[in-house]
Structure 1
Amino acid sequence: MKISQITFTRFVAAMAIVISHFNKDLFLYKIDYISNLFLRANVGVSYFFILSGFIMIIAYHKKDKIDYLEFYKNRFARIYPLYMLGLVLYFMTRYEMYDWYKLVLYALGVQSWIPGEAMILNFPGWSISVEFFFYLLFPFLYNYFYAKKNKTIWVFAVGLWLITQVFSNLYPVYGAYEGPHTKSHEFLYYFPFWHLNEFLIGNLAGIYFVRNYKERNYDRQVLFLFFLILAALMFVPLFYHNGLMALLFVPAIMMISANNGRISKFFSLKPLEYLGEISYGIYITHIPVLYLVREFLQWQQYTFNIDIVFLIYIIVMLFSSAVFYQCIEKPMRDLLRKIPFEKRLK
């Protein structure tokens, strides 16, 4: 089951994160309330985690059992080449940051497990570290819970989501949150266990979706949810980073996926779908590409204002992400997936 219209939403989430990481002097931050959207744009990562859980079920729901090694090989082929490309691009302007310990943590994808190290090197990689954790668990979850229709996982997922929301919203209140890039901050924001609820909720949403899938026109509902998401981020001062927005993201994902109205037809246009396809490259390389653009402009002694620099950056980033997708992501994915395993875990 391919759901073309949901792919474009990945691009929207990725671009929100890109803008949030660019520069707070950008014109968007000078507009009341709109600035709140990008100050909280890390919620886009939460959307990625939920959507990842949803898509995993869509992709595998017809299987009786998942082959562990085949699954890990396919996920490695899909994620790892651009993950490491982001690191190579990062070192092109931050070579002084080279450190064997950090390089090993990043290469193994375990940086998010160590408070104080989650944001090492190409820092968007922290979320890929969390995704590696999800991928490690998914075949087990599928084989022993989802495929067997074991409802225990539903209780666990909802319970974990509730516990995570209480902890995430009370933790800063009682003084444990000390500020950006402290160990306390990184434990709250980046520790993989606090994001597991998002992946599990996405899995359950996927299961419900494939069992109850029925196309209809959800245009009005999708628009309503879109404005509700914007209003929540602009006006409601809660901690959204660890899954609270699942309350809105899950129905939005399912309605967009089942929608046969104008919104889905628009999202399914090939150019928009392609932007969604290159969104992983946008996300994982946007920081090193930003550094490279800044270095080039300084080297050429260009003195554009920040808004012009932003426009140049976006054009370069979209072009480079398309090149990475066509020349690295797709070819490496196809090549690595062809590597056979003589022995498989059944």
Structure 2
Amino acid sequence: MVNERKPAIPALTGIRFFAALSVALFHLSRPIATSLHLPVGYFFDNGGAPELFFILSGFTLTYARPEGANLSRATTRKFYFSRFSKIYPTYLVGWLLFAPLIYSNLVSLHGTGMATYARLAVYGVASLLLVQAWAPVTANAWNLPGWSLSAQAFFYVLFPFLFAALKRFPAKTLVSVIAVAWGVSVAPTAVLSIMPQPYPNLQWAHDIVDFTPAWRIAEFIAGICLGRLFLAHSSTVSFGFDVAAAVLFVFSMAAMVSVGHLMSKLLQFPFFLLLVYCLACASGPFSQLLGTRLMTLLGEASFAFYILHMPIARFAVRAFPGLLDTPAGFVLFLLALTGLSIVCLMCVEKPVFAYLRSAYKASSPAQLNRPGNSGDSLA
């Protein structure tokens, strides 16, 4: 069986930058929003962009994976190595940048005793191993955005098996799985919202609901199902899908800033699913804009933007107090962060990935060239 590489969908790369930007705004813009009296209070209560990342991840991995990919040890190992090589170098840069920040924070709170170093070791090791999202005490302890990489690592471990199972399902069953995934995604937030006080206001309860990979995998599974539906039923692109994608993009952003957490979870799941599908089928100005060389570059740099925005913001505020409190300072910071993210993409993510890919291919040529071994490309 011949497994041809499928054509890229540039608009799905470009949209990633807006998702990463919304996360940075979620984490950093409260002071300036308050000073400008912007009515976006709900925005700081939901932070829905990781949901788009998870759906998009499931979709793009499914789209890129050859139909003949099997569950052999060599194929699965190659997929795991590809994912690790792609995300971990930039993730490690963020981890290292945050290390002095968390150390100084722990020392200021707890002094320099053994308890401080024990916390530092637990937080650091959990984050290095990408298991921090499984416990509220570690989920946000070391570079806040890292929790979603902890969830993604869990998703990646299961992806070859989920792909093998779901690719056998007919369209009707895939739609049913998406509906169940929607319910699973919303259920923890809904349950927490109706629990008696003080649980709805406890941070650890919100952390369990928002960060635990066991809940968030529903969004990833929905993305896989969406990818299967797209591969089976999309044969043409059209302007109508482009218009729909633009409308869904506006609605998704509006849901972040105008409704509460539970309603946001209810709305954004279908909005994001439809947005991804429509962009994949779109032909028009909106998808063309997202697919330009500039937006594609920004989309490729979005992972670095996402991972680095918190530590760089902390250092920037220490060096320039009040920088993020004014419109000019905030915009200047975002521009600088974007530039640094592109530098990280070009100087860390791409060259390290290329080196690791070459080393992997050199170490196992027989496995990579074995007939019938149609695993994921390391490109």
TM-score norm. by structure 2 comes to 0.81
CA–CA separation in structure 2 for the residues paired with 1:41 and 1:174? 18
Deviation per residue, 1:33-53 (Å, 9 max, x gap): 4x1464256101111011111
Q: Determine if contact 1:65/1:147 at 8 Å carries over to the other structure.
A: no
| Alignment match, 2:326 | 306
Alpha-carbon distance in structure 1 between the residues aligned to 2:153 and 2:323:
41
Pair 1:294–1:303, CA change in 2 (3 A)? closer
1:303 and 1:12 map into 2 onto residues whose CA distance is 22
Does the C-alpha gap of structure 1 residues 332 and 202 become closer, same or farther in structure 2, counting only changes over 3 Å?
Answer: same
Percent identity of the aligned residues?
26
Please report how far the alpha carbon of residue 238 of structure 1 lies from its aligned counterpart in structure 2 after TM superposition. Answer: 4.4
The match for 2:247 is 224
1:249-272, Cα deviation, whole Å (9 max, x unpaired): 111111111111111111111011
Give distance in 2, aligned partners of 1:337 and 1:306: 44
Q: 2:190 maps to which residue?
A: 169
CA contact 2:238–2:283 (8 Å) conserved in 1: yes
Is the 8 Å Cα contact of residues 54 and 202 (structure 1) preserved in structure 2? yes
Letter in 2 for 1:321: S
SS at match of 1:278: helix
- Partner Cα distance (2:216, 2:35) in 1: 28
Alignment of 1:189-204 (within 5 A): 189-204=210-225
Q: Is 1:44 matched with 2:65?
A: no
Of residues 21, 25, 37 in structure 1, which corresponds to 2:31?
25
> What residue is the counterpart of 1:278 in the other structure?
301
Partner of 1:332: 352
Correspondence for 2:68 among 52, 56, 63 = 63
Match of 2:130 in 1: 109
Give the whole-Å Cα distance in 2 for the aligned partners of 1:164 and 1:243.
Answer: 9
Distance 1:200 1:240 in 2: 21
Q: Can you list the C-alpha shifts for 1:251-303, whole angstroms capped at 9, x where unaligned?
A: 111111111111111111101111111000000110001011112225xxx87
Structure 1 residues not aligned, in runs of 5+? none
The offset of 1:248, in angstroms, is 0.8
Q: Does the 8 Å contact 1:286/1:317 carry over to 2?
A: yes
Preserved CA contact (<8 Å) 1:17 1:44: yes
Note if contact 1:19-1:38 (Cα within 8 Å) is conserved in structure 2: no
- Tell me which amino acid in the other structure corresponds to 1:102: Y
- Correspondence for 1:11: 17
Q: Among residues 258, 265, 290, which one is paired with 2:313 in the alignment?
A: 290
Could you tell me which residue of structure 2 aligns to residue 146 of structure 1? 166
Listed one character per residue, the Cα deviations across residues 202-225 of structure 1 (whole Å, up to 9, x for unaligned) are 001111111112211123222322
Q: Which moved further from structure 2: 112-121 or 191-200? A: 112-121
Q: 1:189 and 1:323 mapped to 2: Cα distance?
A: 31
Find out whether 1:317 has 2:329 as its counterpart.
Answer: no
| CA root-mean-square deviation | 2.7
* Conservation of the 8 A alpha-carbon contact between 1:90 and 1:121: yes
Compare the two structures and name the one with the higher helix fraction: 2
CA distance in 2, matches of 1:279, 1:336: 21
Mean CA deviation greater in 217-226 or 157-166? 157-166
Counterpart position of 1:237:
260
Q: What is the aligned counterpart of 1:85 among 90, 93, 101?
A: 93
Question: Which residue does 2:103 correspond to in 1?
Answer: 95
49-58 vs 39-48, greater mean Cα deviation: 39-48
CA 1:270–1:15: 2 relative to 1, 3 Å: same
Counterpart of 1:215 in structure 2: which amino acid? V
CA 1:316–1:211 in structure 2 vs 1: closer, same or farther (change >3 Å)?
same
Q: Distance in 2 between matches of 1:241 and 1:80?
A: 30
Q: Which amino acid aligns with 1:59?
A: A
8 Å contact kept, 2:324–2:333: no
Q: Is the 8 A contact 2:182 2:269 kept in 1?
A: no
2:231 is aligned with 1:210: yes
Give the CA deviation at 1:165.
1.7
**C-alpha distance in structure 2 between counterparts of 1:47 and 1:229, whole Å:** 10
What displacement does 1:344 show? 6.4
Contact between 2:174 and 2:229, CA under 8 Å: does it hold in 1?
Answer: no
Q: Which moved more, 1:309-318 or 1:329-338?
A: 309-318
SS in 2 for 1:65: coil
List runs of 5+ in structure 2 lacking aligned partners.
1-5, 107-116, 374-379
The 1:332–1:295 alpha-carbon spacing in structure 2 relative to 1, beyond 3 Å, is same
Counterparts of 1:130 and 1:304, CA distance in 2 = 29
